[in-house]
Structure 1
Amino acid sequence: MSYEPSKEILEKYADVMINFALNGGEGVKPGEVVQLRVSEVAKPFLVALRRAVVKAGAHPLIFFTPDDIEREFFELANEEQLSFFPEKYMKGLVDQIDHTVAILSETNKKELEGIPSKKIMARQKALKPYMEWRREKESAGEYTWTLAMWGTQQMADEVGMTLEEYWEQIIEACYLKEDKPAEKWKSLYEELYSYKDKLDALEIEKVQVEAEDTDLWVQLGAKRKWLGGSGRNIPSFELFVSPDWRGTEGHIQFTEPLYRYGAIIEGAYLEFKDGVVVKATATKGEDLLKEMIAVENADKVGEFSLTDRRFSKITKFMGETLYDENVGGEFGNTHIAVGAAYRDSYTGDPSSVSEEEWAEMGYNNSVVHTDIVATSNRKVTAFLKDGSSLVIYENGQFTI
């Protein structure tokens, strides 16, 4: 039997996305242009999102895409077609929009299984200018984005849930049973920020992550601040930082499967030396993992993140990074992203920094940003600039 959330739930969901998640928690302003990227299966959510945009006095710009058409492109496309980039169109789009709301909704999670990973990565590389233009606009404070999920039967089947059970995780995680979920998010982030402020005040030089098959050192670097609660992802309970990639050493065993580019990677394991991945293995999808790592600068860390189990309402594996990188459960989670760094982790004005200066500070730059998650019980120790150390995270929660 099919399931679809009620109109009331969808109205609340759209309210959170439009009137909280954008503009750094402030919501859209009259006259702004909001790009809505939604696929066919999630049409009911598109209707609710557009309604919320119009009610806010803003302008919806709709990208409504059919389901299950991606595989044929990769089967038929030649090298020129894979690398084609509609420069004028994409530049005009970035110039026009003030915000983007993108909705994840998959009807075939393994649509690209068997497609050569080189083809998939070639298409990813072609989009690099678009990603850079968006990042520049975001750094200038002129653009925000957010990401959310529409549960489908196929997504629920993949992780062994009914569609109603799958949606229950979404509804709980996004506080959609609250009378005013957007207000709930604002109050939650105030509490989350208290831990972010404590982390910033510690003046951490580097952290050590210890768990089964894991001993990883991450150097934060100068002029860094922790991030979280910006509304970029709904839901999001993590606190994260973009470290100096050059100071990553050791190894980490990931526990959660990763769905990426229409395929799955399981049992991923990475070893770092002098900031670079020197060994990458997986029990499944190892070729894709290695192909992904082989992309320029995708063998370096762009993000280090911790999720406190006390904040997250996500208790089950959802098969989507948006949720799995925010899972609470028994031990919360640690994840790192290989690839691009978040430049708003910089304590100063990102728009005033040149590419050479970003490189000098160890902010990684790549077309790839892939989060890989570990939920094993771990201890995280911070080593401070004054020479002291303390445990900042243990048994799934912050200890500061």
Structure 2
Amino acid sequence: MVPTKEQLSKYAHLTIKMGVNVQKGQALLINAPIEARQFVHHLVEEAYEAGSEDVQVNWIDEVLTKKRYDHEPLSVLEHVPNWVVERQMTHAKNGGAVLNIHAPNPDLLEDVDAERVAKASKARSEALKDFKKYIINDKIQWSIVSVPTEAWAKKIFDTDDADKAVEDLWKRIFQIIRVDQDDPIQAWKDHNETLFHIRDYLNDKQYDALEYSSEYVDLTVKLPENHVWAGGGAVAETGASFNPNMPTEEVFTAPDFRGVNGTVQNTKPLNYNGNLIDDFKLTFKDGEVVEFEAGKGEETLKHLLDSDEGSKYLGEIALVPHSSPISQSELVFFNTLYDENASCHLALGSAYPTNVEGGEKLEDEELKEKGINTSLIHEDFMVGSADLNVYGVTKDGDQEPIIKDGEWAIKGA
């Protein structure tokens, strides 16, 4: 199936109205691969119809990205021009919204020296750290969606038939993102209400810790005082609601980064900067990764963990039922936006300051005092499975089920 204009328009309408929710007179920056050209045309039209002004598109060409890594000296890869930073910062300071079309080729940089990729990525993260604060603190609306590209679709379905793979991936995306329903916007409102119910339940409980157990996980995670669970839609500083991730099936919070102990093994591959990391195991002691190993991408994992002081600690814990629509597809998407919503997951690196009461007003050192991790990176990896149990530990030491055999144990979830 090649998506019709009506289907693309319907997806674009959902993205603009429920995803980034651009407001009248608000600027919009769209970051997109060149293969998403048709979809972006619909997005821009929808943005203008919503009253947006100053709609800009930043095109990404993975072929040129690969050539850059192959040929540029490291000194150039590590240099982020001032105009790149200024463009992002000016847009954010003026209250502009940001929409990312995320559809990476999982194998794009597999034959590039992992150190070159790591150093270039770190340089960009350092240069844009102030811009990142606008995102992680929900100062502006932002959202991420995906569309099929040939390389990505062929990887998912393990085929050389690009046309069939892209057709199949469009079908999957329209189902998962609820575009195939009569009223996708109402379907998303209903879905958000379910996530809000779980979020509110966990916020009322204020558990002292979580206990994870399965074939892959044996982990205790301390929770900070006054932690805040989030999930579904969010609200920007302006009061505008938005959905940061489409799809989303998670509720999440920040751990006390100093209080994580035990071992975890991944249950889905991690696509990190165009390289796959798989069959890996992490051992935590007092929050820090003290041992690691990987069957694939171990050197890339090492560079990830060495990114900065906070990259060996957790910044997010997220709960997702094993029966989520993404999980039911029985596909590995090699795309964190999708795979993280098929599985309970953890994130190495920075926490969202909004996951602790008043955190959006705190500086990094103040956040760390409360147990909220700070880092240049934020990388989700999947640990969920059909046999996963997650218990909330009360301040009195009692255990209460939250996830039982991979599914919600919360009434009404």
Fold match (TM-score > 0.5): yes
Equivalent of 1:100 in 94, 98, 101: 98
Letter in 1 for 2:169: Y
Q: Provide closer, same or farther for how the CA distance between residues 75 and 365 of structure 1 changes in structure 2, counting only shifts above 3 A.
A: same
Q: Deviation digits for residues 107-138 of structure 1, max 9, x if unmatched?
A: x4312112111111111111234542223334
Q: Aligned residues: percent identity?
A: 27
1:111 aligns with 2:105: no
Aligned 8 A contact 1:337 1:370 in 2: yes
Deviations 1:344-392 (A, max 9, x none): 1122251x21222111112111111111112322111111123322111
The partner residue of 1:255 within 258, 267, 273 is: 267
Q: Does structure 1 residue 342 correspond to structure 2 residue 375?
A: no
Matches within 5 A, 1:144-159: 144-159=141-156
Matched with 2:319 is 306
Matched, 1:212 2:225: no
The reply on whether 1:382 has 2:392 as its aligned counterpart is yes
Task: Please point out which of 75, 80, 83 is paired with 1:80.
Answer: 75
Task: Answer yes or no: is the 8 Å Cα contact 2:125–2:377 preserved in 1.
Answer: no
Distance 1:378 1:46 in 2: 39
Specify the SS of the correspondent of 1:204.
coil
Q: CA deviation at 1:11?
A: 1.1
CA distance in 2, matches of 1:141, 1:363: 16
Q: What are the superposed Cα offsets for residues 73-99 of structure 1, whole Å, 9 maximum, x if unpaired? A: 122222321221223541343222421
Native 8 Å contact 2:103 2:335 kept in 1: no
1:313 deviates by 4.8
Alignment of 1:120-139 (within 5 A): 120-138=117-135
CA distance, structure 1, for counterparts of residue 156 and residue 84 of structure 2: 38
175, 180, 185: which one aligns with 1:177 = 180
- The answer for the alignment partner of 1:5 in structure 2 is 3
SS in structure 2 at match of 1:282: strand
- Segments of 5+ residues of structure 2 without an aligned counterpart are 159-164, 234-242
Equivalent AA in structure 2 for residue 232 of structure 1: P
Q: Secondary structure at the match of 2:108?
A: coil
- Post-superposition Cα deviations, 1:163-185, rounded to whole Å, max 9, x if no partner, equal 22222221111100122212211
3-state SS of 1:246 partner: coil
Q: Deviations over 1:52-80 (max 9, x none)?
A: 11001102111123231112212222232
Contact 1:271/1:278, CA 8 A, preserved across alignment:
yes
- Indicate whether 1:91 and 2:86 are aligned: yes
> What amino acid sits opposite 2:371 in the alignment?
G
Please, what is the CA RMSD of the aligned residues?
1.8
Q: Distance in 2 between matches of 1:43 and 1:79?
A: 31
Taking the aligned partners of 2:290 and 2:126, their CA distance within structure 1 comes to 28
1:272 and 2:284 aligned: yes
**Contact 2:265–2:282 (Cα < 8 Å) also in 1:** yes
2:248 maps to what in 1? 236
Which TM-score applies when normalising by structure 1?
0.92
Structure 1: runs of 5 or more not aligned = 328-332
| Residue 222 of structure 1 pairs with residue 219 of structure 2 | no
Q: Secondary structure at the match of 2:230?
A: coil
Partner of 2:258: 246
Specify the alignment match of 2:13 in structure 1: 15
Structure 2 match to 1:330: none
Q: Does the 8 Å CA contact 1:300/1:338 hold for their aligned counterparts?
A: yes
Q: Which amino acid aligns with 1:176?
A: V
Q: Contact 1:207–1:380 at 8 Å: present in 2 too?
A: yes
State the SS of the aligned residue for 1:215: strand
Is the counterpart of residue 43 in structure 1 residue 43 in structure 2?
no
Matched to 1:210, the amino acid is S
Q: Structure 2: how far apart are the matches of 1:128 and 1:179?
A: 40
Residue 354 (structure 1) aligns with: 363
Describe the SS at the equivalent of 2:271. Answer: strand
Q: Distance between the aligned counterparts of 1:124 and 1:140, measured in 2? A: 21
C-alpha distance in 1 between matches for 2:22 and 2:170: 26
In structure 2, C-alpha distance between the alignment counterparts of 1:137 and 1:65, rounded to whole Å: 22
Contact 2:364 2:374 (8 Å CA) reproduced: no
Q: Which amino acid aligns with 1:381?
A: Y
Aligned counterpart for 2:24 among listed residues 30, 50, 56: 30
8 Å Cα contact 1:41/1:105 also seen in 2: no
Amino acid paired to 1:77: E
Distance 1:140 1:202 in 2: 24
**Does structure 2 retain, via aligned residues, the 8 Å contact 1:255–1:268?**
no
> Deviation of residue 42 (structure 1)?
0.8
